[in-house]
């Protein structure tokens, strides 16, 4: 039996901004600070670890992309990201 974390480890994808930008339409993108482990964050979101997720939000480590970030990424469509889907969110981390 696969655990949630093992599933995310398997599903971790490397994608470009070009592939991610479509998800802006439904406001699904959430950026994860580089200091955090993306699989750990995805697992916490999936299992509804509210205290941990709220702590990351409070410290600015889990945010929506800013207008400045979006402008920068649009100038560099091949910018690499790590990505995990945790419905309804797409968690991304600059990679």
> And the tokens for 10?
């398997």
**13-16 and 80-86 beta bridge pairing:** antiparallel
Report the alpha-carbon distance of residue 84 to residue 90 in Å, rounded.
Answer: 6
The pLDDT, as a whole number, for residue 95 is: 81
pLDDT-flagged residues of the chain (< 70): 1
Report the alpha-carbon distance of residue 9 to residue 6 in Å, rounded.
Answer: 5
């Amino acid at each position: 039996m696969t655990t949630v974390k093992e599933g995310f480890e398997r599903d971790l994808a490397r994608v470009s901004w070009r592939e991610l930008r479509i998800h802006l339409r439904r406001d699904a993108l959430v950026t994860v600070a580089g200091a955090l482990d993306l699989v750990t964050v995805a697992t916490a979101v999936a299992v509804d670890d509210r205290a941990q997720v709220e702590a990351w939000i409070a410290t600015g480590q889990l945010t929506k992309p800013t207008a400045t970030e979006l402008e920068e990424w649009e100038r560099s469509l091949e910018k690499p990201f790590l990505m995990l889907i945790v419905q309804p969110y797409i968690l991304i981390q600059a990679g």
